[in-house]
Amino acid sequence: MSERLQLTDILETLDRQVEDDKITLQDIVDTFNSRGFGPVVLLPALIALLPTGGVPGVPSACGIFIALMAIQLVFGRRSPWLPKVLSRRGVSHERWHRVTQRAKPWTRRIDRFLEPRLRWLMGDVTQRLLALLMVVLGLGMIPLELLPFAAAIPALAIVVMALGLTAGDGVMMLLGLGVTLAGGVGIGFWML
């Protein structure tokens, strides 16, 4: 990670640099390829978490994308690769712009909280274990799509962990693990 990115900057960069009518998963990879896996996993998780995740098929596509990206990090790949069949999936640029504008007050608050902390959690082994958890959470979004907005639970955990990965913030990574545990317990109780 060459420099720390803020969430607001990530959203605005994608909105500004993509000129097509649709922002695809390939656009995310192309825009943030040099920044590592944090932003590449963060954006599809945000797409699934925000109201765009209510569109049928979006959480599944985002979950598969997240799993494909995270498994590459598990195996030590330094830059992401995406199969063509997924590369064309995405959301309309107009919708992304609207969501970005509405989310800015919140993302700016989150940006103030992000800072490099607990750097020992940013080691290679820890990042690979975190990526393995993201694979599981991403694949878990597929069956959860059957319940309205249930895929938002793993998406939230991935967003928090990806923010930690992007900002070099071990506290955010730990918070993501907490969201994962709380979400798992909540879904478990709901299923009983």
Q: Calculate the CA 3 to chain-centre distance.
A: 18
User: What was the pLDDT predicted at 11?
Assistant: 80
Single out the residue of 105, 115, 129 nearest to residue 170, CA to CA.
115
Enumerate the domain spans of the chain. 7-191
pLDDT score of 103:
81
Question: Which residues of the chain, if any, have pLDDT below 70?
Answer: 1-5, 33-35, 190-192
Provide the sign of the torsion angle of the four alpha carbons 120, 165, 116, 31, taken in this order.
positive
- What is the C-alpha to C-alpha distance for residues 108 and 69, in angstroms, rounded to an integer? 26
The whole-angstrom separation of Cα 28 and Cα 42 is: 10
Q: What does pTM read for this prediction?
A: 0.77
Give the per-residue pLDDT at 132: 92
Residue 134 is predicted with a pLDDT of 93
Comparing CA positions, the residue from 92, 83, 180, 191 lying closest to residue 140 is: 180
Identify the H or E element spanning 131.
helix 124-144
Structure confidence by residue, pLDDT tens digits, 68-94: 889 998 998 877 777 787 777 777 788
